[in-house]
Amino acid sequence: MTDFSKLLEDIQQRDREVGAFVAFAKFKNPSIDGQFQAKSAENALPDWTFAIKSNIAVAGLAHTAGLGGYRDRIAEADAFCVARLRAAGAAIVGTANMEEAALGAVTNNPHFGKTHNPLRHGFTAGGSSGGSAAAVAAGFVRVALGT
């Protein structure tokens, strides 16, 4: 198991209490560790982990926009911003929970569950990018994209 795989496994376990993620990256490539830890001029963001709001396409992951009808919709390609992050060496952990269609303020999604404030369980993480906010606050990732 790679270091990145161990990191993902740990985040998945801890996220059960928070509900920040809708889908997690899956890596079976043993070279991901070298990529994850190497720093070079082309790889400006080594060891930088990112969560991406689920209305932004991440190739191979659920691209739901918080909608139950899109639960099985898998992005075929990365959105431009995600492609640029990957090109800089960012490690995408997964897609973050969000308010349904980004129309709300508490991220209590009827299809993917409630996102809790990891610093004060039982309280909201806010919205509509609550999963992104909670992923950073919980220390699951260094950076998250929202909208």
12: helix, strand or coil: helix
Strand partners, 21: 96
Position 29 scores a pLDDT of: 45
Position 31 scores a pLDDT of: 45
- AA identity, residue 99: E
Position 39 scores a pLDDT of: 52
- Give the tokens for residue 43: 């790889």
d(CA 65, CA 69): 10
d(CA 91, CA 37): 10
Position 47 scores a pLDDT of: 72
Position 122 scores a pLDDT of: 87
Q: Are 115 and 23 in contact (CB under 8 A)?
A: no
SS3 content of the chain, % helix, strand, coil (to 5): 30, 20, 50
Task: Report pTM.
Answer: 0.88
Ordered per-residue pLDDT tens for the chain, 147 residues: 457 788 889 999 999 999 999 999 976 444 445 555 555 556 667 678 999 999 999 999 999 999 999 999 999 999 999 999 999 888 999 999 999 999 999 999 999 999 999 999 889 999 899 999 999 999 999 999 999
User: Of 8, 26, 93, which is closest to residue 53 (Cα–Cα)?
Assistant: 93
